[in-house]
Structure 1
């Protein structure tokens, strides 16, 4: 009798343990940043697409919590502290975290490819050779963000071996909207801003502001700008919720590509930006602006970061950086 009771207790415990082991999270914590590149995230949030796909997967009512961060450094800290499940930022900070965690953080999918512009109000500056200690360049996250890493690439190309960090002392961390405001104000220490659409285009509408550098020129053509990334723990423990998010992102991306004018209208509606529909439509319909989950030339960043010692591991291919769900895409 005792043995039978013990067996039943152990069996019950095993069943409960098995059920707990397969229980998925009932909350998803996602972070985004500012600009047109985050339009798919705005659509996912507004249309509750994660909730929709999670329910279709049998997960019931999932709580989705959203946060908006100013830069990738804060995003990475939140991911490392387990206060965030899915981050979204430029390619370099995602690769840096992949390296730092020895692959415990991986990339989920690409978000887009689009050129970033380094704009200045200093008429004397025609190229990055002309910057001096009197200039300050606003970027979302110094050293680790997309823009400062592209600036490091440009410095290496322009000034030669060992000079990749030459312009780093001039960079200042400011969110895209704050960098825009500082540059167009015409006063203060910020004389340049390396930024993304629509902020880069809006700056050029101000008299006296011109472009010094285009990220596509540095990278030799189109390359992924933003990516989604998260922890292996979240990926492995929540396969259905992870898949629901990926489907939500694919749906939002398809929505943008299906009707670019409607996408421009949605951006203004959801971001509360003051641009015109025509101005935003001009950006999202630009052939150089691509909303896609397919990685494009991400190894240009990992090769560079490895070369200059910013990461210790060099991925053999882009697939080493990404979770397997996107490995069938024609990435690079």
Structure 2
């Protein structure tokens, strides 16, 4: 029996709740957690790493499955948590409940722009994000405007930035589709789209391919609107945490680089090890997605500055951020953009 999913009215994003409003509300609490005084800090003996569902976390999930960090950091108790949105992960990091945060660049840049003292330790990947619809008659954003709900993880997710960039180019107004956005995790969004309860879903691998297999087609392509590959997800941490725990940050970079090499060298073996943590896919499907065109597992950030520039231009953040604001200086971020 197929479960029917109905979005709760409280989850609908009203047009008044723009990303600029989220930035303003975050600014009121973002400055407190990081004093910049690391002279008296102590190394953490317990950390939480948070991430979201999806293939965009495959290299991080491989680190989890193989216990790489636990082996490299025997004195650190590591907890892994899956959450449904980058905003929830950002809020948990701000509250001190999460020490290493994996998520899309949208919530990260909005948090940083509001004064939150966190930076990227490493990119996880570059991935092409697509806006999907089951409606064969809808072939453009102009036809989509004013017609039904558009699901994504949140109104400040990287997907929302992609949608606004597309709306600016096609409709002349980056906020033209804001009132249609509803916040929904990727798995629920896919189920709702296929069930006909949404007009569109802006998601990520593997969900967009699974939707295509059910008859959905692409309305918007993030690599097209941002003129090439860009980072999808990264690993972020507060500046104070990294200053006090440099070995943890270094171990994460090393573990991700090793995982990326494994994915490139033997995606089939990696896929076998990920079947228990990436739901709804068998090993062959995972392997195919790991090597799909437009997907690259890399620690090097790509085009974060381009995203930040667009977000400043459209009022999503107050001031344009430089790469110095966005990255920690390490082997992973060297040469990042």
Residue 204 of structure 2 is aligned to residue 196 of structure 1: yes
Aligned to 1:270: 277
Aligned to 2:162: 150
| 1:150 Cα offset (Å) | 0.5
| 1:314 Cα offset (Å) | 1.5
Contact kept, 8 Å, 1:36 with 1:267, in 2: the verdict is no
Counterpart of 1:329 (choices 325, 328, 334) is 334
Residue 218 of structure 2 is aligned to residue 206 of structure 1: no
User: Deviations 1:84-129 (Å, cap 9, x if unpaired)?
Assistant: 1111111121111112125x11111111001111110122210111
Q: How does the TM-score come out when normalised to structure 2?
A: 0.84
Gap change, CA 1:82 and 1:328, over 3 Å in 2: closer
Gap change, CA 1:199 and 1:241, over 3 Å in 2: same
| 1:139 Cα offset (Å) | 0.1
Aligned to 1:4: none
Aligned to 1:251: 258
What secondary structure is seen at the aligned counterpart in 1 of 2:80? strand
What secondary structure is seen at the aligned counterpart in 2 of 1:312? coil
Please report the RMSD computed on the Cα atoms of aligned residues, expressed in angstroms.
1.7
Contact kept, 8 Å, 2:253 with 2:332, in 1: the verdict is no
| 1:327 Cα offset (Å) | 6.9
Give aligned pairs, total.
299
Q: Which runs of 4+ in 1 moved over 6 A?
A: none
Q: Point out the structure with max Rg over C-alpha.
A: 1
Q: How does the TM-score come out when normalised to structure 1?
A: 0.85
Q: Give distance in 1, aligned partners of 2:284 and 2:97.
A: 38
1:225-236 superposed matches below 5 A: 225-236=232-243
Aligned to 2:34: none
Counterpart of 2:195 (choices 156, 173, 185) is 185
Could you list the runs of 5+ residues in structure 2 that have no partner in the other structure? 1-38
Aligned to 1:167: 177
Higher helix share: 1
Q: Give distance in 2, aligned partners of 1:231 and 1:297.
A: 21
